[in-house]
């Protein structure tokens, strides 16, 4: 395994950090990280996302604590089918990406896979909802603005993201601020 870059973030909306490493594995790519935050529903989660050589999500594991409960999630994609802890998650047939709601790390997946130009490129992700109890489809779009910036949109939310050449988001207005080593 070859480590390509490590991203570090601090949360802007509450106390918290995230750190994620991007590595090239024998048969694809891997993101591994740890996110910690305080507040009303504190969390301390370790995550590993495995992708194919073409940056489509194969699986993700999320473990740790969230809002006072133990978390142990195995998210798997088999063709068009998504499962969480071996339980089918409906409506996700056209979702090549996982979106971990608690981390900016998974924005890297469509940014590495898609040819993004000035026109918005739509993509649908399997979104691990903030309560961490199910996956739902999340329609998103990305458009290149130049100078390392991307216009991101999802229902009810849009932002101008700063993006490092590695594909990691380094600026997520009002949510995350970060930097990349490597």
| Coil, helix or strand at residue 117 | coil
DSSP state of 105: G
Q: What is the CA radius of gyration of the chain?
A: 15
Nearest to 99 by CA among 40, 36, 47: 47
| Cα gap 22→3, rounded to integer Å | 6
pLDDT in tens, 150-164: 999 999 999 999 999
Task: Give mean pLDDT, residues 31-36.
Answer: 98
Domain segments of the chain as ranges: 2-181
Specify the pLDDT at position 53. Answer: 96
Phi and psi (nearest 5°) for 175? -120, -50
Specify the pLDDT at position 151. Answer: 97
Task: Give mean pLDDT, residues 15-37.
Answer: 96
| Cα gap 90→2, rounded to integer Å | 35
| Cα gap 153→142, rounded to integer Å | 7
This prediction has a pTM of 0.95
pLDDT in tens, 94-152: 999 999 999 999 999 999 999 999 999 999 999 999 999 999 999 999 999 988 999 99
169, 178 Cβ separation under 8 angstroms: yes
Nearest to 51 by CA among 117, 115, 105, 91: 105
| Cα gap 49→99, rounded to integer Å | 10
Specify the pLDDT at position 121. Answer: 96
21, 3 Cβ separation under 8 angstroms: yes
């Amino acid at each position: 395994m070859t480590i390509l870059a490590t991203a570090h973030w601090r949360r802007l909306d509450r106390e918290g950090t995230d750190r994620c490493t991007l590595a090239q594995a024998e048969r694809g790519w891997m993101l591994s990280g740890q996110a910690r935050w305080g507040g009303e529903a504190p969390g301390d989660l370790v995550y590993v996302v495995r992708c194919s050589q073409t940056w489509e999500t194969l699986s993700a594991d999320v473990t740790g604590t969230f809002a006072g409960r133990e978390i142990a999630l195995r998210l798997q994609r088999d063709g068009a089918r998504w499962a969480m802890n071996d339980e089918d998650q409906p409506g996700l047939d056209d979702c090549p990406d996982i979106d971990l709601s608690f981390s900016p790390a998974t924005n890297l997946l469509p940014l590495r896979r898609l040819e993004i130009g000035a026109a918005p490129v739509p993509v649908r992700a399997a979104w691990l909802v903030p309560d961490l109890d199910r996956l739902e489809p999340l329609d998103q779009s990305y458009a290149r603005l130049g100078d390392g910036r991307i216009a991101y949109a999802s229902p009810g939310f849009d932002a101008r993201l700063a993006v490092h050449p590695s594909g990691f988001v380094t600026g997520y207005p009002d949510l995350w601020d970060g930097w990349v080593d490597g």
